[in-house]
Structure 1
Amino acid sequence: MMKRYAMTILAYMTTFGLTFTACGSKESGPDAPIDPTPPVSKDVTVKVMSYNLWASRPGNLQPQNMIEMAEVIKRADPDLVALQEVDKLTKRNPIDVTKELAERTGMKYYFFAKAMDHNGGEYGEAILSKLPFKETKAYSLGFLPEYPNSEPRAIAMVTVEKEGKEFHFVGTHLDHLEINGNRDKQAKDIVDIFKTFTKPVILGGDLNSLPDSEAIRILRGHFTLGCLNNNCAFTFPATNPNRTIDYLMYAPSSAISVQSYQAYTWAGSASDHLPVLATFTLK
């Protein structure tokens, strides 16, 4: 009787041991099958804006105007905004405009790139972002000595990541004078800077140049216009606009595509420029 009982227990233990070993081998053993399917890299959507603040007019500085500009940005709800004509602690705008707009829009990450000293403070470009910065960098864009009435310009660049896709977002503002070679020089400088970058780049700004101008032709040697079918909406003046001088563009075209692109005519009278808004897909 005892012998038969022991044999029964041994049979149960043997069966259990074989079952346990089989389960362990299936989950983590050296002979476990390997899934050959690589992880899928999904497309990521990013919404960006370019907005010239007209040095925060009217009123330099009317609190209501800052409220209106912030409302324009909040209504558009972009991930990142490139701002031009930005004052920092000047006599006409005795606040840090970038910080003020960041607080009013709830876009907690911001970066200012000084182009020049001006009016007791600083003047340049800025970026607002919902995405944390992995890197920030400012570049200077000078001007040709034969045009002494020109103003120095700057490039504000941030590196961000959204849903695993890392890219650079860039804001700039080309020379404002009507007839000179500065815009062409600055366009060449921009291409020279970014043609060596390996990550995708989205560039926004007031380029003071028409779509058929030499400066835009130079930029298109590296960047692709965000305008769908090259039909770039009028952005200036804000009231009854009749020309395009504000843009969003990108590089390389193999890494980015355009979902939507428009000038926002509802922006009101806060600035003399209409903001440009685009939604891009990072492939």
Structure 2
Amino acid sequence: MRGGGRRGTSCDENRADRLCQAGTRRLHSKELQTRRAFPRRLNRPVTGATCKDLSTVGAWRVAWAVMALLTRRRASFALTMSALLALLPACEPLADDLDFVRQEVQVTTRSTLVPPAEPAPATLKVMAWNVKYGAARIDFWFDYWGDRVQMTRQEVVENMADLYRLVNEYDPDILMTEEIEVNSRRSAYYDMVQGMLEGTSLNYAAYIQTWNSRFIPSEGVGRMDLGNAIFSKYPITFAERIRQEDRTDQDGITAKFYIHRMIGRAVIDVGAGRDVAAYVVHTEAYDVDGTKGRQIQQIYDEIKKETRPFVLGGDFNELPPNAVKLVGFPDEHPSSIGTEYQQPPYTPEIMQKFYDDYLPWVSLDAYGTSEATQRRYFTHTVAGPLYKDESGNPQFWNRTLDYLFVTKADAWAAGSTDVLQEPGRQGIQRDPLMLSDHAPVVGTWVLGGGTP
């Protein structure tokens, strides 16, 4: 996911009433700066904390009060965090120490397993989807279209139910998701991984945690537990997360509490003595130090070592090598210029090696060399159809950031690869444009390259 957009002063004619009523309002730039300098108060204790001396809501409010006082007096973020840390001498760390290169992760299961229709399939339907932490088209402060910081429980439940319905309509054997949360204040502490299992016919899941901060003061974000996940109808026999390089363009405190990208890998038993691997990735979006390029190279180096047939899916935050439009996307606005969420220049040439050495779900020939042909495969837009572009048309997908690749020894079933941009694609009925800022990318993976 990435930012972009504009801020106004009120709900206008380009905005649906239901989102205005949901509490998303716009801010003047001065007010925005004030709010960022003076975080909102945390109204509940951080879930899962083990502090003995700060185990009550009142104690957390004391911490917030001290932080707010320091921040109001224009104290630095580091000083603010130091004050908080001084109040927490007996606590578990507020952010994880990631002292590993590879780490095995737990596999969770559906409460009642649903036997797959094919015990030893020759093909596997796969989907990769950035689900935007169940926020659908609610606009958050970092997108520059709204100022929401968290959702209500009802909003999350309803949004996730719509996601489950679309997943069920396509019915993948393997699903790779990005931006999924399990215990975050932003998403009302809803467990989206278990929810996806119970709401679909997928049986197994490996959660690849990438952001585990128990306390984020910025904008009153609070507890954050976000990551990617690999779901499967077939048993996941092993799963791991592989650390990616962190950004170097952030101060030490910000870097400590920020997201830490991971490559997620799962080994899946698909019957008849066969194992396949699935990879899920989500690279940096806002770095200005080349971190994303190094992460993409690491992904390439990692899959080169894989000995099993594999599928790689995820949000690369990068354009295809022959993308026509590189700048000036219609969902961006000057209000994001100069902020930490300004879109850095894309470098699409770094994706070429994946197209050279692996089998993409959409070939570069199919993608074409004009914006008209490429539009068919766009996967991302910050602004949904509730907003209008400069021509007065509802916003639509405007660039490709999400991908699927398999080994060249395998194949994609003819006519199966697609971007689920709208109802009707591959038989779906829900509108993906209303469910996330990314569209699902899908295809039927033919194991061994035979005829399905």
What's the TM-score once normalised by structure 2's chain length? 0.50
Cα pair distance change 1:195/1:254, threshold 3 Å: same
- Counterpart AA for 1:175: E
Q: Distance in 2 between matches of 1:217 and 1:258?
A: 23
2:177 to 62, 65, 83: 83
Measured after TM superposition, the shift of residue 186 of structure 1 is: 0.6
Query: Tell me, which stretches of 5 or more residues in structure 1 are unaligned?
Result: 1-41
2:297 is the counterpart of 1:199: no
2:354 is the counterpart of 1:219: yes
Do the aligned residues in 1 keep the contact of 2:186 with 2:224 (CA within 8 Å)?
Answer: no
Measured after TM superposition, the shift of residue 65 of structure 1 is: 0.4
Q: Distance in 2 between matches of 1:115 and 1:125?
A: 7
- Counterpart AA for 1:44: A
Measured after TM superposition, the shift of residue 144 of structure 1 is: 3.6
Q: Which residue of 1 aligns with 2:210?
A: 115
Q: Which residue of 1 aligns with 2:123?
A: 45
Q: Distance in 1 between matches of 2:176 and 2:299?
A: 16
- Counterpart AA for 2:360: L
Deviates more, 1:181-190 or 1:135-144: 135-144
**Greater per-residue strand proportion:** 1
Three-state SS of the structure 2 residue aligned to 1:167 is strand
Measured after TM superposition, the shift of residue 230 of structure 1 is: 4.3
Measured after TM superposition, the shift of residue 236 of structure 1 is: 1.2
Do the aligned residues in 2 keep the contact of 1:195 with 1:222 (CA within 8 Å)?
Answer: no
4+ long deviations beyond 4 Å: 147-150
Q: Which residue of 2 aligns with 1:6?
A: none
Deviates more, 1:156-165 or 1:240-249: 156-165
Do the aligned residues in 2 keep the contact of 1:111 with 1:127 (CA within 8 Å)?
Answer: yes
Cα deviations across residues 31-80 of structure 1 (Å, max 9, x unaligned)? xxxxxxxxxxx981110001111121046351110100000100010001
Q: Which residue of 2 aligns with 1:157?
A: 265
Q: Which residue of 1 aligns with 2:56?
A: none
Measured after TM superposition, the shift of residue 88 of structure 1 is: 1.7
Q: Which residue of 1 aligns with 2:200?
A: 105
Cα pair distance change 1:183/1:231, threshold 3 Å: farther
Q: Distance in 2 between matches of 1:111 and 1:75?
A: 22
2:405 is the counterpart of 1:249: yes
Measured after TM superposition, the shift of residue 220 of structure 1 is: 3.6
2:360 is the counterpart of 1:282: no
Do the aligned residues in 2 keep the contact of 1:191 with 1:222 (CA within 8 Å)?
Answer: no
- Counterpart AA for 1:162: V
Aligned-CA RMSD value = 2.2
Q: Which residue of 2 aligns with 1:137?
A: 240
1:73 to 164, 167, 180: 167
Deviates more, 1:235-244 or 1:63-72: 235-244
Three-state SS of the structure 1 residue aligned to 2:434 is coil
1:272 to 404, 414, 437: 437
Three-state SS of the structure 2 residue aligned to 1:98 is helix
Q: Distance in 2 between matches of 1:124 and 1:173?
A: 9
Measured after TM superposition, the shift of residue 146 of structure 1 is: 3.1
Cα pair distance change 1:221/1:177, threshold 3 Å: farther
Q: Distance in 1 between matches of 2:281 and 2:181?
A: 14
Measured after TM superposition, the shift of residue 215 of structure 1 is: 3.1
Three-state SS of the structure 2 residue aligned to 1:122 is strand
Cα deviations across residues 210-238 of structure 1 (Å, max 9, x unaligned)? 10103312434543311145434111126
Do the aligned residues in 1 keep the contact of 2:249 with 2:289 (CA within 8 Å)?
Answer: no
Cα deviations across residues 117-169 of structure 1 (Å, max 9, x unaligned)? 14414111111111111211111212241355774211221111324342101
Measured after TM superposition, the shift of residue 268 of structure 1 is: 4.2
Q: Distance in 1 between matches of 2:260 and 2:362?
A: 28
Do the aligned residues in 2 keep the contact of 1:151 with 1:175 (CA within 8 Å)?
Answer: no
Q: Distance in 1 between matches of 2:183 and 2:121?
A: 41
Q: Kindly, what percent of the aligned residue pairs are identical?
A: 23
Do the aligned residues in 2 keep the contact of 1:43 with 1:281 (CA within 8 Å)?
Answer: no
Total equivalences in the alignment: 241
Do the aligned residues in 2 keep the contact of 1:184 with 1:218 (CA within 8 Å)?
Answer: no
2:163 is the counterpart of 1:54: no
What's the TM-score once normalised by structure 1's chain length? 0.78
Q: Distance in 2 between matches of 1:152 and 1:142?
A: 8
Q: Distance in 2 between matches of 1:263 and 1:51?
A: 10
